[in-house]
A and B are shown apart, each in its own frame.
Chain A
Amino acid sequence: QKEVEQNSGPLSVPEGAIASLNCTYSDRGSQSFFWYRQYSGKSPELIMFIYSNGDKEDGRFTAQLNKASQYVSLLIRDSQPSDSATYLCAVNSRYGSSNTGKLIFGQGTTLQVKP
């Protein structure tokens, strides 16, 4: 089992719809979760991160954590064609009970927003 898993997609949604991206992780004790967006030929761009104490909303983006089921979601409201990209989920690896500086990435989900 991979440590961080994402459906590779593509996930296709119409413009204006809500896009829902999911990511599962294997380490039940993980405390920090990150979503990056990567356009083709570009480097990953940090969208948002959350800690194990709660969800977070930032503009059209909402990150939600379900600790019991060990998955993290990213919701994009009012999806725009410019949101079309690969979305990478990452989890902070741990050594014992402490976070390390290493991020473990999923393979990414390709999102297509159709006008």
Chain B
Amino acid sequence: KAGVTQTPRYLIKTRGQQVTLSCSPISGHRSVSWYQQTPGQGLQFLFEYFSETQRNKGNFPGRFSGRQFSNSRSEMNVSTLELGDSALYLCASSDGAGTGGGKRFGPGTRLLVL
């Protein structure tokens, strides 16, 4: 099976702009989670989607949002970008919700906010 794919891989934006990141999970996986990774905070959970429904949300401001489509592909959006949003954004997929088992990560989108 092909792995998790994320686009774009790299992105440079300026403060105040918005950005949309895309994730395609492993075929057959219906759960998609998003994480932010920074050197200072490590890996932090953003949200999880299962069958187009947001099931969990982390402690991030409302500028961070996401959605999932009927084909399980997911997008996350960050509005009004801040310098602190510079990070590696990782998408992970698994075949079930709530189990947490076997989450596989994509290659990530590296976002730089200037």
The answer, among B33, B88, B90, B105, for a CB contact under 8 Å with A101, is B33
Residues on B with C-beta less than 8 A from A101 are 31, 33, 48, 50, 55-56, 94, 97-100
The answer, among B50, B100, B106, for a CB contact under 8 Å with A34, is B100
Do residues A43 and B108 form an inter-chain contact, with CB atoms below 8 A? yes
* A11 adjacent to chain B (CB < 8 Å): no
Number of interface residues of B (CB under 8 A): 28
Interchain CA distance A34-B26 in the complex, whole Å: 19
Do residues B99 and A103 form an inter-chain contact, with CB atoms below 8 A? no
The answer, among A32, A34, A99, A106, for a CB contact under 8 Å with B42, is A106
Could you give, for residues 88-100 of chain A, a 1 whenever the CB lies within 8 Å of some chain B CB and a 0 otherwise?
A: 1010100000111
Residues on B with C-beta less than 8 A from A44 are 43, 90, 105
* B13 adjacent to chain A (CB < 8 Å): no
* A104 adjacent to chain B (CB < 8 Å): yes
Number of interface residues of A (CB under 8 A): 23
Do residues A32 and B106 form an inter-chain contact, with CB atoms below 8 A? no
Could you give, for residues 18-53 of chain A, a 1 whenever the CB lies within 8 Å of some chain B CB and a 0 otherwise?
A: 000000000000001010100000111110010000
B77-105 residues at the A interface, CB under 8 angstroms: 88, 90, 92, 94, 97-105
A57-107 residues at the B interface, CB under 8 angstroms: 88, 90, 92, 98-107
B19-56 residues at the A interface, CB under 8 angstroms: 31, 33, 35, 42-45, 48, 50, 55-56
Do residues B45 and A103 form an inter-chain contact, with CB atoms below 8 A? yes
5 contacts between A and B (CB under 8 A): A44-B43, A49-B101, A49-B102, A103-B45, A103-B92
